Amino acid sequence: MNRLRAVLSGWRWVEPSFAVFILAGIAWSGWFFQENHYLPQPFFYNRSDTFGDWFNTAEWGRDNGVYDAWKSVYPPLSFLFLRVFSIKRCYATPYPDNPLPELRACDWLGLVAIWLIFLVNLALIWVTFRKLNPKTALSRTICVGLGYPMLDAVERGNLMLITFTCLLLALGPILRSARLRWLFAGLAVNFKVYLIAAFVPLLLKRRWRWVECALISVVLVYLVSYAIYGRGTPIEIFNNIVDFSTVAGYSIIDTWNASTYAPLASILKDGSFPIGFYMGSRTVDIVLFLIPTIHYLTIGLIVLAAATVYVRPEAVPRYRVISLGLLLATISSDSGLYSLSAFMLFVMMEPWRGGGRRWAIVACYILALPWDIPLDRLPEIEQELAFRGEKTLVTNYLTVGPFIRPLIIMTIGIALSLTTIREVWRDVRFQGWAGRWWLRRDAPLLPGVQRPSPPPTQ
């Protein structure tokens, strides 16, 4: 009994339990796929579009209208990468006369690349967390490497897979060479532009030279890829990003894979789906008031936390600064659920200590669960199944995820921001304002060698 009480009081069971739930969700999804030949929610709602982000992008990358007609937001590197990891003859027929099922059946190299990158990422995540804390390495590897955001990237065949590889190698503990880190930083941003939010915040840690070299790498990688590909000017990419971010007309299915409340708020405002029938008009008005309030509160706290890091950079670990930057980018723009794996990697570098850090870790485990709770059944729709070449009626549900997932993401930002502010305040109380704080040296990139902590408050 005493041993059980010690385990429960130490919260040692929390992370392994969540890891078991994630594995159980994967097993249930596999059983569901075996019975119905398509993946359940919250996986992508168009069951005929499995691996679509990979093959559609590879096909459009061979079209001259990739930035004009398709309005791509990808820099040229993405299309060059997909040309290397695809079979050219499979894309001889121009879009749109080459359907996705034929591409999947022909381009076996693309399928191999998707699963190979996934397995490499899983191994890199394991090595990373083993270096940080062997006791929690297995649970956190399952969360980040096998959680829903990473599985969503695999199911979509999204370039977040290779982007994650570059991000981990650029900012993780595996590589020692600064030049290699800068190279992978340049590759990561050229795959996903919004990942610049992972590198620029390091300026708060006085990493002037490191960030400067990383940004130079971004520019050099872009110039080389543009020179080879011949299309994708900065103005074209910028205009397409603006157009993509201002697209309106959401439907209820857009909320399933959303990381923000933007689709839900749009549906509540225009009444395109009768959610008010379930919630009541007064509740809808309250929700429409709370959504932007919590959104701007979270952004404000992250900005305030960033300001405190600049005041006392040695008091805050670098992985915290990186995760706050990525959280700010995720909260500000809806980039897909697969993008959550980026900030989850760095949140999971936090030690299991303190209420804010513990909640952030638990929230990441919740986001990693590959299942959802249905609220109501939606009308059946006919869809073509990706792996059987036949059409069937697919049952979808209005689920809990779209209503709580963006809130969970924002609470992670709030928890880590408050933790950061508290740590800086305690450091100031412990050491005072003596010294030129704007010239203070940086702290180590990863946990291990830490400066002395102030004594606990009584």
In which element (H, E) is residue 384 found? strand 381-384
Q: Which pLDDT belongs to residue 381?
A: 85
In the three-class reduction of DSSP (H, G, I as helix; E, B as strand; rest coil), residue 381 is classed as strand
Structure tokens at 398: 């209005």
pTM: 0.89
Name the DSSP class of 383.
Answer: E
pLDDT > 70? residue 37: yes
Average pLDDT over residues 423-432: 84
Q: Which pLDDT belongs to residue 279?
A: 63
Closest CA to 356 of 395, 397, 396, 412: 412
Q: What is the DSSP string of 203-265?
A: GGGT-HHHHHHHHHHHHHHHHHHHHHH----HHHHHHHHHHHHT-----GGGGTT-SSSHHHH
Q: Which pLDDT belongs to residue 4?
A: 45
Residues linked to residue 392 through DSSP beta bridges, in sequence order: 383
Q: Domain residue spans in the chain? A: 50-439
pLDDT > 60? residue 442: no
Percent of the chain exceeding pLDDT 90 equals 56
Between the alpha carbon of residue 87 and those of residues 109, 177, 433, the distances in Å are 7, 34, 62
Cβ atoms 241, 73 nearer than 8 A: yes
Determine if the peptide bond prior to 379 is cis (ω within 30°): no
Cβ atoms 416, 364 nearer than 8 A: no
Closest CA to 290 of 419, 417, 406: 406
Average pLDDT over residues 288-305: 92
Instruction: Give buried/exposed letters for 260-291 (b at 16+ CB in 10 A, else e).
Output: bbbbbbbbbeeeebebbeeeeeeebeebeeeb
pLDDT > 50? residue 452: no
- Tell me the angle at which helices 318-332 and 281-311 cross, rounded to the nearest 10 degrees: 150
Mean pLDDT, the chain, rounded, equals 86
In which element (H, E) is residue 393 found? strand 391-394
CA separation for the pair 152, 341 (Å, rounded): 10
Q: Which pLDDT belongs to residue 432?
A: 66
Tell me how many degrees the CA angle 57-89-111 measures, rounded to the nearest 5: 50
Q: Which residue has the higher pLDDT, 258 or 373?
A: 373
The owner of tokens 């439907």 is 251
Is the alpha carbon torsion for 424, 428, 430, 434 positive or negative?
Answer: positive
Cβ atoms 451, 137 nearer than 8 A: no
Q: Which residue has the higher pLDDT, 74 or 2?
A: 74
Spell out the long-range contacts of 158-161 with Cβ–Cβ below 8 A and sequence spacing 24 or more.
Answer: 158/53, 158/54, 158/336, 158/338, 159/53, 159/54, 159/57, 159/74, 159/78, 159/81, 159/82, 159/191, 159/192, 160/192, 160/336, 160/338, 160/339, 160/341, 160/342, 161/114, 161/117, 161/118, 161/121
Closest CA to 347 of 366, 364, 325: 364
Between the alpha carbon of residue 98 and those of residues 59, 125, 163, 357, 382, the distances in Å are 9, 36, 27, 49, 22
Quick one: pLDDT band at residue 105, thresholds 50, 70, 90? confident
CA separation for the pair 160, 32 (Å, rounded): 25
